[in-house]
Amino acid sequence: MMKVMQKREANLRQGLPIIKSIVICFIAGLILALSGLSVVHADPSRMDDQQRELNRRAAAASSSAELAGILTEAYNYMASLVQQSDQLIAANQAERDKLNRQIAVLAQKLEESTDARQAKELLACRDRLTQLDAELPLLLADKEYRDGQLARVAGLLGPIGGPVPGVGAGYTPPPADANAPTVVQVALAQLGKPYVYGATGPFAFDCSGLITYCYRAVGMDLPHYSYDQARCGQRVAASDLQPGNLVFFRNLGHVGMYIGDGQYIHAPHTGAVVRIASLADRGDFCFACRPGI
């Protein structure tokens, strides 16, 4: 009887990893099937055919490895849609800037002399500027929606592709990073440079590109995705933050660098520049880590 029980126990232990994998796949697949690739706006009408196909494949995945591959594919696809949104916003703002310059020049000329052709051109520029002003809020709303979709996939990828290390029982703060002063100095030197999706410097950055650039200066090659950067060091409790630590927001969808005194530096979004902000002003802070430690 004892041998039978021991055999059953051994079989159960051997089957636990398989059961765990099946449960993880089922839960993640069910979440994807029910809510699509969305966090805030679960709106099926806004999903395209490729997103629906990714959802179908994820729901039918038979292993955690297969599901992780599908989620990685979904992440890359959503990242491409976010990039499209960034490009449309950048194009809108570039045209608006150009029109404003043209309007200023034409207005100056019309003050000096009346010219019917220039007056007509001025009206056309103002009409086009009005159109662009009306389009910009829609583009920004679409960007926010796609950012949410991307953050959701990143959040699902985390537990499937391997959990981000957490602060739990027995946590002790990691040692200080000797590279931190240099990294922070490099980051501060980028203040005022524009946000451009996918950019890694030296003239423009996106959020994770700024981090990659700064740590490359001390010989550390970090990946260019925020959810991957969250795995590049030991997690740090909020009370143990030190300059140079990475701080994450929006379910790992955005990253900045802590510089001390409750402040961090980051590249926020299209239309903004690298700037310093306060952690106290963020309600979506979720994670911090010390790279290289």
Q: What is the pLDDT of residues 1-11, one digit of tens each?
A: 544 444 444 44
Between 153 and 127, where is the model more confident? Answer: 127
Q: Is 102 exposed, middle or buried, given 0-12, 13-18 or 19+ CB atoms closer than 10 A?
A: middle
Q: Which two tokens stand for residue 273?
A: 């520049």
CB atoms within 10 A of CB 158: 18
For 76-113, the pLDDT digits (tens) are 888 788 778 878 887 888 898 899 999 999 998 888 88
Query: Is residue 255 packed enough to be buried (19+ CB in 10 Å), middle (13-18) or exposed (0-12)?
Result: buried
Per-residue pLDDT averaged across 197-223, rounded?
92
- Sheet bearing 285-291, strands edge to edge: 233-235, 285-291, 246-249, 254-260, 263-266, 275-278
What is the set of domains in the chain, with CATH numbers?
A: 14-161 (no CATH), 180-291 (3.90.1720.10)
Residue pair 32/53 in contact (Cβ under 8 Å)? The answer is no
Alpha-carbon span 232 to 220, nearest angstrom: 10
In this predicted structure, the answer to whether residue 288 has a pLDDT above a threshold of 60 is yes
Burial pattern 47-84, b for ≥16 Cβ within 10 A else e, equals: beeebeebbebbbebeebeebbbbbeebbebbbebbee
Can you list the positions of beta strands (E) in the chain? 233-235, 246-249, 254-260, 263-266, 275-278, 285-291
Given this model, what pLDDT does residue 293 score?
Answer: 66
Q: Which residues contact 199 (CB under 8 A, 6 or more apart)?
A: 205, 206, 209
Is the model more confident about 166 or about 285?
285
Decide if pLDDT at 194 tops 90: yes
Q: What is the pLDDT of residue 21?
A: 44
Question: 0.75 cut: is pTM over it?
Answer: no
| Residue 116, token pair as written in the block | 């019917």
